Amino acid sequence: VALPLLLLAAVGLVQLALVAHAYNVVTGAAQDGARVAAAVDRTLADGEAHTTALLRAGLGRSATVTVAGGQRPAGSPEVVEIAVQAGLQPIVPWLGEATIPLRSRAVMSKERFRTAW
């Protein structure tokens, strides 16, 4: 009687650990992508590509990933924003095609270096 409950609790703990790891990966990738996009010699596309590469490395190929970048105010390169949406596959097989949603957003000011002569 106790073995099924113990196995269920173990699977739940493993799933919780995987979700916590995936959330940290999504948050870190968004932050690092925004940092890359905010660099003085980089573009928003560079930040999006860097974010996508980090997500693929951290979550694997089976996770669904959407990365969107933008600038605020619209059209102005003052502030860059990277938004990430990902879906993590649960480890229990009987949930079918259900995914665990993960979201994160990072905003960073664009670097501007000025020299006075």
Query: What is the distance between the alpha carbons of residues 57 and 104, in angstroms, rounded to a whole number?
Result: 17
Mean pLDDT check: name the lowest of 34-38, 40-44, 110-114: 110-114
pTM: 0.82
| DSSP E strand boundaries for the chain | 64-72, 79-88, 100-109
**pLDDT at position 27 over 90:** yes
**pLDDT at position 20 over 90:** yes
Q: Check residue 88 and give its pLDDT.
A: 87
**pLDDT at position 29 over 90:** yes
Closest to 37 in 3D by CA, of 109, 114, 100, 105: 109
**pLDDT at position 74 over 80:** no
> What does the mean pLDDT of the chain come to?
87
Q: Check residue 75 and give its pLDDT.
A: 62
